[in-house]
Structure 1
Amino acid sequence: MPTTYVLPQDKKILRSVWKKNGNKEPWIIKPPASARGIGIKVVHKWCQIPDSSPVIVQKYISNPFLINDTKFDLRLYVLITSINPLRIYLYDNGLVRFASVKYSTELSTLADRYMHLTNYSINKLSSKYKQNEDAHACQGHKWTLKTLWNYLDKELKVDVKNLWQRLIDLIIKTVISGERSITQLSSANLGSRYNSYELFGIDVLFDTDLKPWLLEVNISPSLHSASPLDLAVKAPMVHDLMNIVGFQIPCSKKFTEEQLSKDLNYSNKYLCYDSRLYTRSLSIAEKNKQQNFLRKSRQKYLKNILEDLTPDDVRHLIQYEDELTQLGSFQKIFPTSTSHEYLQYLDGPRYYNFLFDAWETKYQNHREEGKYLF
């Protein structure tokens, strides 16, 4: 991630850095709680920094990887269905947004938003912007991610698989960076594991070495489809997303067997609700098991944590396995048999992450065998 300062609280620190470099390096300013590129600008003079307004000031990546001499970024779609345990899915397609003016490193060009910003909402207003209606074509100022991979592979001989893995690494670390606060808020406010998920739009830029840089993470990314290209990416993505998260119908009322037997249709209406599925309370035995395994090394919990599954363990694992039957074009990137390498970056040990690590390690290649434990 580029060096970033949150103003006004980091203004003194930024000022000291600025004095060392003078007005020779560009910075990008982003206002909070905004969208569609509103308020974003690239600057190189201290007088252009707001005095007291809350903004993000970020080191501008001035050596972007170019295609047709033009800057571009990626919009990746990332679905998180659970924060504890952590479950992350990455859609296999996305959008590639190009600037509409050829790139220049001259400081005199920094005010040209059509050159230095890649937001579609900005560049569609440019007289040089070219629409691309074909999801498979390398033309215009918006491509699909799959089209980009094909271009990089065939035209530039880039190792696209390696590039994809680097993006996965970036995404996992990005999510982990906010895992602590999200876990705390989720624990305090969610009544069920089934009533919360989030689709994020993660924007990434490649530099000249094809190193991926995180630009920003968008909540509620636009699902508006302004062209057949947009529709080709977003429509199947939303379809798969809804299948993964499922549609649960919790009910706060209790019905006696006599009430349900009076009307067969009535019983069918509430057939999918079972209060045991939604409970988050733990028995004393379950609490003791969780506390016990939090103190164990990976070698020890891999050996023993699956030996005596509790009802709570089973509920988590069933929900997870249900999700995996509906992935469509989403790829599971966490948990996997190798994702335990990222657990060291978490704020502290999480029992459910240990449970899922053990599950993936043992049953990744023969999931049906694992399901017999249920």
Structure 2
Amino acid sequence: TNKWDLSWSWAYPQFSKLGPLKKNHRINHIPGSGVITIKNQIFATAERLQNQYGQELFQGIVPRHFVMPHQADEFEAIREAEPNTSWILKSQNHRGVRFFDNTKSVKDDKDAMEGGNMIAQCVDPFLVGGYKFDIGVFVLIASLEPLRIFIHDHAKLRFCQLPYPETL
């Protein structure tokens, strides 16, 4: 039925389940936008585009990454071949980011095997006062046709709890 005004959900809706959208319909997630907003899907999208258009497309933009536990074997091969590369493990539930102990197998790491992203640490990260950080920007896409986008005046900065180590 089309007798609704607002669809608010944690999950990304599917167009087929929403039916044709009317001018009065409002949704909090544009169907399909997860490919640029969810880490696993961002990495999968980048990988697909690299395979299609060449590795240089994302050179220096998207770090090397492995989705755990699905790519554990691939990661192990790289970890053993490149023992000096530092890795960060980001949990899937956004509740933990930590350096991965490169001296042990990923298969012995309970957190990694429960799922997450293993990401190559950039060599010279941007720091603020010695701390790593990320930036969150709030964006409202009011319409796709015509495209209307609003960016909130204030950004969100999140800092690591501990200073970035001088040597890894």
TM-score by length of 2: 0.49
Higher strand share: 2
* Larger RCO of the pair (alpha carbons < 8 Å, separation 6+): 1
TM-score by length of 1: 0.24
Q: Which one has a bigger Cα radius of gyration?
A: 1
